[in-house]
Structure 1
Amino acid sequence: MDNDRLEGRVALVTGGSRGIGAAVARQLAAQGADVALTYRQDAERAHQVAREIEGLGRRALALRADNADEAALTGAVRRTAETLGRLDVLVANAALFPSGPLEDVDTAQLDRVLAVNVRAPFVLARAAAEHLPPGGRIIGIGSNVADRVPFPGLALYAMTKTALVGLTKGLARELGPRGITVNLVHPGPTDTDANPADGPNAPAISGLTALGRYAAPAEIAAVVAHLAGPAAGYVTGAVVPVDGGFSA
């Protein structure tokens, strides 16, 4: 749709080298945005996504940044604004997916997961807010398990993704007077390297959705891109499930 076009806008997508993050980066570029993306380890995949974005006629920037490193995150925001000239959209996507019994979670793992999944989105939003103009967008990527935890072993992950609900609503109130919207997308089971649709647990997980299947990453990206566009200018503080009816 024309009112979802993003020409002249610059986006930063964390964790943009694969899965949902890569799909979001590609979709934003397809709708006209220049896109920076962060990665932690796989430089080749990140630069491949950047080349695909450039193939769409947009500018791209691949930045190494560990989500647990506050200085790296603020540096990624700064470099995006300096290199691409501005920052209009932040998509906080990068996250860890811990699972396992409660008694196996030690303090070191707890602290790292909280740093990556909760502290990082706050740090990114704080840094991005210095650059975002009226009409700016902050979009978090949460999880369906914030609404429904279907299996044991997900307490730590569910806690971190639930924390993003409060962050989203608080930031929406704080940044709303500046014309900046803040929203959270809760994907359901999505076909990625970390959770493939043909994996051993996929039939059981698919059966928990109303549609009986996994999402393609592009289906999540389409909703994120809509929230990034002009048509969603009156949507803020919202938690948007894109979960195939998982939480219905």
Structure 2
Amino acid sequence: MDLGLEGRTVIVTGASGGIGRHIARRFAAEGADVVLTYHSSAENARGAAEKLAADHGTKAMAARFDLGDAASAPALVEAVLAWSGRIDVLVNNAVRWGATAPDTTGSFEDAPDEAWQAVVRDNVEGALRLSRSVAPHLRRRRWGRLVHVSSSIATEGMTGGEYYGAAKAALHGFSRSAAFSLGRDGDILSNVVIPGLTRTETNTHIVDSVPPEYAQRHPIGRLLHGDEVAAAIVYLGSAANTGINGQAILVNGG
């Protein structure tokens, strides 16, 4: 299937590792020029960008993006336009876990204000700021795709994930309404992907510690790999997707 991505420019935030690297790789394999953003792992992101360009014969760029920095989103958009001259797809994949999310022993009300507020603000405001910065360019071209990567914590819950889950759930509401607004100005679609616990190269220590019974909750009886989640994200961000819009889609094996 031709996904209609050749020559398009795609921004994938948080692409230096985890699911983000798989997303960037799949877009590049479809002929897209890919911007891989990172927060602190500049060397990893640059190495990944160089490998994408070499493997797929497309352009790839590493650029810093900080969810918590209000100036970071417009600076990123300016850098991408200077590099490519266009923006077609934005995948909001970057996250800030913060100190409270992995804590499964404490009480959420005991988290210091500065800790939980940073988790909520950065994850919500960072994605919204970048969406706001990209939107005018999508409207101008009358074509674009937004894909926001959420988490099953937003729908299923997890002790210790109260604030992270709240932030991810906010993306669902934003994307649904943004789909109406953007759709007035062209073939511009906005969707949310909700991965479950997903196996990647960087979280083996986590998924290997999960009891086998957890995977058995899913009909396929196993956890998905990052590349499988990335496949759904790339489809939603492609020209082949002409009708899935304003949706929050679980990608977790059932």
Same structural fold, with TM-score higher than 0.5 when normalized by the shorter chain: yes
Letter in 2 for 1:138: L
Give the share of equivalent positions with the same residue, in percent: 36
Q: How far apart are the structure 2 equivalents of 1:11 and 1:209?
A: 31
| Correspondence for 1:95 | 95
Matches within 5 A, 1:68-217: 68-97=68-97, 98-100=101-103, 101-132=107-138, 133-149=141-157, 151-179=158-186, 180-192=188-200, 193-194=202-203, 196=205, 198-201=207-210, 203-217=212-226
Q: Deviations over 1:73-96 (max 9, x none)?
A: 221122112211100000000012
Q: How far apart are the structure 2 equivalents of 1:126 and 1:223?
A: 24
Residue pair 1:184, 1:239 contacting (<8 A) in 2 also: yes
Q: Deviations over 1:83-120 (max 9, x none)?
A: 11100000000012323331342111122112221111
TM-score normalised to the size of structure 1? 0.92
| Correspondence for 2:15 | 16
RMSD: 1.6
TM-score normalised to the size of structure 2? 0.90
Q: How far apart are the structure 2 equivalents of 1:85 and 1:6?
A: 16
| Correspondence for 2:49 | 50
Residue pair 2:53, 2:60 contacting (<8 A) in 1 also: yes
Q: How far apart are the structure 2 equivalents of 1:165 and 1:209?
A: 23
Distance 1:93 1:13, change over 3 A: same
* Runs of 5+ unmatched residues, structure 2: none
Letter in 2 for 1:20: I
Distance 1:196 1:187, change over 3 A: farther
Q: Secondary structure of the residue that 2:153 maps to in structure 1?
A: helix
Q: How far apart are the structure 2 equivalents of 1:49 and 1:25?
A: 9
Between 18-27 and 72-81, the greater mean CA deviation after superposition: 72-81
Distance 1:5 1:157, change over 3 A: same
Counting matched residue pairs gives 243
* Runs of 5+ unmatched residues, structure 1: none
Letter in 2 for 1:65: F
Q: How far apart are the structure 1 equivalents of 2:17 and 2:79?
A: 21
Q: How far apart are the structure 2 equivalents of 1:70 and 1:210?
A: 42
Q: How far apart are the structure 2 equivalents of 1:134 and 1:223?
A: 23
Letter in 1 for 2:36: L
Q: Deviations over 1:168-203 (max 9, x none)?
A: 101101111112110100011111324656432253
1:29 CA displacement: 0.7
Residue pair 2:19, 2:229 contacting (<8 A) in 1 also: yes
Distance 1:232 1:156, change over 3 A: same
Letter in 1 for 2:162: A
| Correspondence for 1:59 | 59
Residue pair 1:40, 1:65 contacting (<8 A) in 2 also: yes
